[in-house]
Structure 1
């Protein structure tokens, strides 16, 4: 199974960024790419996740699974984001048990989005 971690590379995260400085979202993206990427995880930079008031933001998704948007992240959070993504890869429906989630995924979740097709319940 492959999951995708979209990273808002244009996010300023409420910071004043001087010309020529890397944006907080771009720094987060670079830190994630430099980390220990779990097998099956694609990390993709995107221009905007519309979470500007809660940036820097990432979105984690996979076909047939619940998707998540997390915000208020920095490049220092990259190791925990990658741990959370690994747990997500192991969850067949995308729902990682609460206590198995890194603290940043417990406290900094902005949205949980259902899969396009939910199984009958």
Structure 2
């Protein structure tokens, strides 16, 4: 896995059908599930994709960044891990569309080019 690949998980996200009084938000549940699977997760409060929660970002220096939304912490953990592996293996972070899991293909919020310094 590419050492400069980072998986950022919004811990404040909620799924649209979630109970607002629930003690743990869906994004935190997703972060914990990915960490339990061994993924290198950076927890982040609010990625400003609230209408598309749960949201994550695949990012790294000199790499394209993908922001993904509409992820279910109970159903989509494996898809996120698959995308992380593909992202980490791509030298510039660009993962061909057909190599992305279906939930990732359908729920890309943004693809941001690398920032040049």
5-14 vs 80-89, which moves further: 5-14
Question: Per the alignment, in what secondary structure is the counterpart of residue 20 of structure 2?
Answer: coil
- TM-score (normalizing by structure 2): 0.89
Larger radius of gyration: 1
Runs of 4+ in 1 over 3 A off after TM superposition: none
| Residues 16-68 of structure 1 deviation map (CA, whole Å, 9 limit, x = unaligned) | 2225x21111111111111143xxxx311111000000001001101101001
Q: Does 1:93 align with 2:86?
A: no
The answer to whether the Cα contact below 8 Å between 1:70 and 1:110 also exists between their aligned partners in 2 is yes
1:26 corresponds in structure 2 to: 28
Which residue does 1:45 correspond to in 2?
Answer: 43
Say what the alpha-carbon RMSD is for the aligned residues: 1.5
Q: How many residues align?
A: 113
Aligned equivalent of 1:16: 19
1:57 is the counterpart of 2:55: yes
Q: Does 1:73 align with 2:71?
A: yes
